[in-house]
Amino acid sequence: MSDLEAYRAQAATWLESMAPTFGKAARQSLSEADDLALARRYQAAKFEAGYAGINWPVEYGGQGLGHLEKVTFDSEEMKHGFPNAYFGISLGMPVPILMQFGEDKAFVKERVLKALRGEEIWCQLFSEPAGGSDLAGLRTKAEPDGNGWKINGQKVWTSWAQYSDYGVIVVRTDPNVPKHKGLTYFWVDMKAPGVTVRPIKLAGGDSHVNEVFFDDVKVSDDHRMSPVGGGFAVAMATLMIERYVATDSGGFGPHLNLFVELAKATQINGRPAIEDGRIRQQIARNYAMRAGLDAITARAMAMMQAGMTPGPEGSLNKLISVRSRQKLSELAIDLQGSEGFAFDDHASQKDNWTSSWINAPTGRIAGGADEMLLNTIAEKILGLPQDHRPDKGVPFNQIPA
């Protein structure tokens, strides 16, 4: 058994032992407040067991291991339905970026430890009503105010802002220069006066994202994490951190086995649906697609293990898996016919086709819309040119609205 396999086995055993207390079944009828409380206890248990901050430096309370161990743990953890989503953004991007760019080491260390134990949550305040894919088009501004800054504006789609203690934010500090050049990166106290958080109910019924309003929110200059006007680079660094994440060729929807089971249990024209060529073709095509994504992931893992850099094909996973899951979920609802109208908005999108279907559009937009991912593949991997951008080089305050 390789070291990594041994690590996987050990992690799997520990996760198995946690499942009765924190797993899917234990969470079934909890209110969100109770679920969050359970989640904090689960995160603390992970910290105690050495499974928090797996690939983070030991000096900050991490385990000092590699991406491989982290991805290995994450892929095992995914199987049990643990309440880890509340910390997904927090530990995924803002806190690592704080470790990288935070100046006050004692402060950083205290924040990191509390985040690792689940005591504090961080959010990421990037998208705005006027700019999602076009991040650099953001309008929230920070103006000099005494020795510090004063923030005004609105952010949106901010995951878990309603439970967050802190956030990282990109704001415009100079509207007189082209859009990428006038941005600055700060951290903010989400409990500060002038910060208002309003949850947004999504199409599927849940409300994990928020609008966040900033009205004369004062931050001192030691909150600044980039040079003035150098915020875009730190924002890009933030988005690059999660290059090595556990992927799911099922697009974070149900496993293909569940579709096969459904097709076996359903009849078309008096015969099992599994004998229907249209259904069989979709099973075969989806299997081949998922097997390809799994093989890409396996190869990336093997390359990392061999000390090599994985190829760029890993970037295909979300694009291909989520839109396929969306179509397969539609077909699964078709298969159920008049029994397919039922909807439980608490059902998991991992094992319920209707929940998978109704939440699929979010997956195709969040974390990079399909169209942006295609642009990235075309430009960064294949060397095709950027789109025509009428606002290129134009000072932000002269871009036609």
Q: Catalytic amino acids?
A: 242
At residue 199, the 3 state secondary structure works out as strand
Using CA atoms, how far apart are residues 159 and 2, in angstroms rounded to an integer?
Answer: 38
For the four alpha carbons of 64, 23, 211 and 400, in that order, the dihedral sign comes to positive
What would the x/- binding string for another protein be over residues 340 to 379, using CB under 8 A?
A: -------------------------------x--xx-xxx
Cβ-based nearer residue to another protein, 164 or 247: 247
Residue at token pair 């679920």 = 35
Q: How many Cα neighbours within 13 Å face the side chain of 291?
A: 7
| Least Cβ distance, residue 365 to another protein (angstroms) | 16
| Least Cβ distance, residue 337 to another protein (angstroms) | 21
Which residue, among 196, 143, 199, has the nearest Cα to 171 in the 3D structure? 143
Transcribe 313-366 into DSSP letters: GGGHHHHHHHHHHHHHHHHHHHHHGGG-----TTS-TTT-HHHHHHHHHHHHHT
| Least Cβ distance, residue 301 to another protein (angstroms) | 9
Cβ-based nearer residue to another protein, 132 or 231: 132
Under the binding rule (CB under 8 A), the answer on residue 265 touching another protein is no
| Least Cβ distance, residue 54 to another protein (angstroms) | 24
Using CA atoms, how far apart are residues 387 and 142, in angstroms rounded to an integer?
Answer: 30
Bridge-based pairing state of the strands 209-219 and 267-268: unpaired
Positions 267 through 306 that interact with another protein (CB under 8 A): 274, 280-281, 283-285, 287-289, 291-293, 295-296, 298-299, 302-303, 306
Under the binding rule (CB under 8 A), the answer on residue 264 touching another protein is yes
User: Of 106, 203, 382, 401, which one interacts with another protein (CB under 8 A)?
Assistant: 382
Using CA atoms, how far apart are residues 49 and 276, in angstroms rounded to an integer?
Answer: 49
| Number of residues counted as binding another protein (CB under 8 A) | 41
Cβ-based nearer residue to another protein, 348 or 375: 375
**Residues in contact with another protein by the rule CB under 8 A:** 256, 260, 264, 274, 280-281, 283-285, 287-289, 291-293, 295-296, 298-299, 302-303, 306, 308, 313, 316, 319-320, 371, 374-375, 377-379, 381-388
